[in-house]
Amino acid sequence: MSTLSPVNRRHVLTLLGLSAVTVGCGTALGGGPSSGGGTRTLRYQGWTGQVTPAELAEDLGHLEDVALEWVGNTISGPQDIQSAATGQTDFGGAFNGAVVKLAANGAPIKSVISYYGSDEHAYSGYYVRADSPIRTARDLIGKKVGMNTLGAHSEAMLDIYLQRGGLSRADADKVEALVIPPVNTEQALRQRQIDVAVLSGILRDKALAGGGLRPLFTDHALLGSFSAGTYVMTERFLRQNPGTVRTFVTGVGRALDWSRSTPRQEVIARMTEIVRKRRRNEDADALRYWRSYGVAEPGGRIAGKELDLWIDWLADRGDIDRGKVRLDALFTNEHNASATAKTAATATASGR
């Protein structure tokens, strides 16, 4: 592994500070899905060794006559949504704070469905070696924390933990946030290249199965259960492909609900088969640790508070101008027939 360099925490979120974004046209228009006009193909980036809700939805047949076109893998939510904003892909997903940051800097994007979150099974944990002296937020001063990217979910949770631990901004800036590919993070911790590793999902559970690690804190312990990230599309794409968007968003919502209601081993078997069939030279072994996507609302419905939280956080840090961000312009549930149906059914059952 190459030598890791410290990052000044005052400038972390400027990585997403795009002052101008050129929005492409997306894939060519032409006789669209049965549910309305638009392209039949959606370009996207995947994650090595993982199955995204969109990929699961396609395999389950929930995308009907809309097909996904894989253009490569990403290891960063901010990079993924930037690709969608610039027209290199048709949708991308990231931590909601990164979505807010990109929108505040002029990108004409809109969140259409939640795709990952934190619950008792799906969460990001900040782990240290079992023999580490680190026990509190103050113990992190001068220490290295490895994560997949900066200015996104892992960085935000670390900031909240340090703030709640009573650290001043000056002391918090002495905690070194380092970018490490997710597949290398456990190794970096065990080899003492970093002091804390941010681990989540199947990579977290695989690392814990190896023993010798203990949690410092988790995002679920900080904020409880919440949807943390959304798929975004450009406003132009939404206008030009309404039928495709509705099919895609509704299908992803159905896949999320299927993953919740289906026995875990059956979901894992399905995901393993998906990885095997796509032939990307991946190791599917870690999938056996999968437990949940962590999305809080039925059908992946977006709750405004899940974005509003990060508007306040970014504004308080001085990273965005609160006046330039309107919550109602950041997201929509109108394309999600699955979420609408689930919400109506829940309201009826509860007598509302």
Per-residue pLDDT tens over the stretch 219-238: 889 888 889 899 999 999 99
Q: What is the pLDDT of residue 35?
A: 45
Q: What is the CATH number of domain 11-118+227-349?
A: 3.40.190.10
Q: For the residues 199-220, what does the mean pLDDT come to?
A: 91
Higher pLDDT, 75 or 331: 331
Reported as a single tens digit per residue, the pLDDT across 64-114 is: 999 999 999 987 888 999 999 999 999 999 989 999 999 998 999 999 999
Band (pLDDT 50/70/90 cuts) for residue 197 is: very high
- Kindly indicate whether the domain formed by 121-223 is annotated with CATH number 3.40.190.10: yes
Residue 33 has pLDDT above 80, yes or no: no
Residue 343 has pLDDT above 90, yes or no: no
| pTM of this structure | 0.76
Give the closest residue to 26 by CA, choosing from 236, 331, 244, 232. 236
Q: What is the pLDDT of residue 20?
A: 35
Residue 346 has pLDDT above 60, yes or no: no
Q: What percent of the chain has pLDDT over 70?
A: 86
Q: For the residues 182-202, what does the mean pLDDT come to?
A: 93
Q: How far apart are CA 101 and CA 17, in angstroms?
A: 7
Q: Please determine whether the domains at 11-118+227-349 and 121-223 fall in the same fold group of CATH.
A: yes
Give the closest residue to 157 by CA, choosing from 104, 225, 102, 221. 221
Q: What is the domain partition of the chain in residue ranges?
A: 11-118+227-349, 121-223
Instruction: Tell me what the pLDDT averaged over the chain comes to.
Output: 85
Residue 122 has pLDDT above 90, yes or no: no
